[in-house]
Structure formats: C-alpha cells, structure tokens
Amino acid sequence: MQRALINLRPLISQVFNFEDTVEAWRFMQDKKHTGKVVITVQ
C-alpha cells in the first residue's frame, strides 16, 4: 500500500505579541479561535 505524501500545517487563528498575553488569554476564553493561538516572544 502506498501512502500519499501530505503536508499538514497547524491552523493559526491569531498571533499576539508577548505584551498582549492577557488579550490572547481572553480571546481563547471567549472561544473565538478555530485554530492555534500563537504568542510571539522577541
């Protein structure tokens, strides 16, 4: 049996800066996301 090569990538719903972590948490609590919520650290 041959397997199809599939490139799966995570679905990113929203990206927040580290300074906006509280806003990101509220975004998740309100269940407004359909994928991953990403917090960037720079």
Residue with tokens 């309100």: 30
Q: Is the pLDDT of residue 1 over 60?
A: no
pLDDT in tens, 22-36: 999 999 898 877 889
* pLDDT class of 16 with cuts at 50, 70, 90: very high
- CA distances (Å), origin 19, targets 9, 10, 12, 27, 35: 26, 23, 19, 14, 21
Residue with tokens 């990538």: 9
- CA distances (Å), origin 37, targets 3, 19, 22, 27, 34: 31, 14, 12, 9, 9
* pLDDT class of 4 with cuts at 50, 70, 90: low
Q: Against a cut of 0.75, is the pTM above it?
A: no
Q: Where are the domains of the chain?
A: 11-42
Based on C-alpha coordinates, what's the Rg of the chain?
15
